[in-house]
Amino acid sequence: MSIFYLIFIGLTIYYSIRYDGIEEYDQHKQHRLWLMCGYLICLSGFSYGLGADKFAYMQYFEEYPSNIAGSGDYIWIEFMLRGHMPLWTMINIFIKSVFGSFYVLQFFVSIVINIAVCYIVTKYTHRYFLFLLVYFLTLQYFIFNTEVMRESIAQAFVLIGMYGWLNGKKWLYIVSIPLAVSFHPSALTVLIFPFMKYRISRNTIIYGVILAFLIWLLSDVLLGKVMLSVAGSQGAMVQKILFYSIKASNIFGFIRALFTYLIFPCIIMYVVVENEENSELKRQKAQMLTFAFVLGIIACSFTGFVRLYNYTRIFYLIMLGDFIYTLFKQKDHLIIRLSALAGTVFVTALLYMTYYKTTNTRFYDFFYPYTCILNEDKSVFIREIAHNEAVFVEEEDDNVRDIK
């Protein structure tokens, strides 16, 4: 079944060679983009037990009532016990009552996130297919479609909202962000986006590294304050804050995060911004860079909140595609640019190879081989076991320490 992966990779490479060099509007190029978008939707929609968190979503779906009547109390219970936001629970109950199948839910999530991503891609790059290849190979496609399903719907609204803000349609931002929060509270992060007006320079990146290190040094105290402030409260949301607040990276984890979320992404995005010829696009991409810079500092300093970086990930991958496309077309600072790309490939490979001892699996095993609804083989539940190990046996992670 993994032949479907090879087909996608082969088609995106072919279409990239044929169409990514076309700068003006091209009907065939647009058609191929949405064809590949549909391919990604079906790849996720027809999957069975693909990913890790997917198993939790499957279990929750089975527990939802199959009758919309009286669901109001259940929505409140879900919020209090699991921290699931109202719109997410409502969508689940509606699909359960009308279709009775989890597969409809995963199709819905895949449609929402992948259409939003492809639409944004058409607005900020001409390298559609190189982006799709990067989106796929960095595993971000799999993460959005199988790991953070609630957050991915929020991500879709966030992308549209941020695009609206950058293009003077502030009403779109004002409408989209509350909808995003109604699916996942982490979307509140995007409230700082309108204030990201500071222009990032090479020196700013250096200062950011220093600031991230200082915050990391004080992370025990800062996170301890959070824990003390919420320890006396109740509810699933509070428990999640506590859960994410009791972990911090040691020096090795910090260095890895520093290169993964701050140094390499900022170098890549900075180069793309500086070489953008369209003044309006340059302004918008500069604001994206500033937002990524701030979230990168948070991701380096506070391990438990690294998922917030997802809200800048698509814009980063768009610029990574542009960066790769123009790598050898520009001669200035070639060694630095090659090093940034090589480093990005290396940290991505580290993610691929994350190892779980109990199940003898690696991170890529969550997504490979491809498993389809036409063959509901129960052996895929090894992924659920590996996921439980990844979440609950964190004391074996050499890059993580408990907050004392």
35 CB-near residues (< 8 Å, 6+ apart) = none
Coil vs helix vs strand at 248: strand
Return the domain boundaries, the chain: 1-147+362-404, 196-352
Contact 52, 386 (CB under 8 A): yes
Rg (CA), the chain: 21
Which of these, 113, 173, 105, 164, lies nearest to 141 by C-alpha position?
113
How many CA within 13 A on the CB side of residue 207?
7
Q: What is the pLDDT of residues 59-101, one digit of tens each?
A: 899 988 888 876 777 888 888 878 889 999 999 999 999 998 9
101 CB-near residues (< 8 Å, 6+ apart) = 95
User: What is the overall mean pLDDT for the chain?
Assistant: 87
The mean-pLDDT minimum among 21-25, 29-33, 299-303, 311-315 falls in 299-303
Contact 342, 189 (CB under 8 A): no
Measured in whole angstroms, the distance separating CA 312 from the mean position of its chain's CA atoms is 8
pTM over cut 0.75: yes
The share of the chain scoring above pLDDT 90, in percent, equals 58
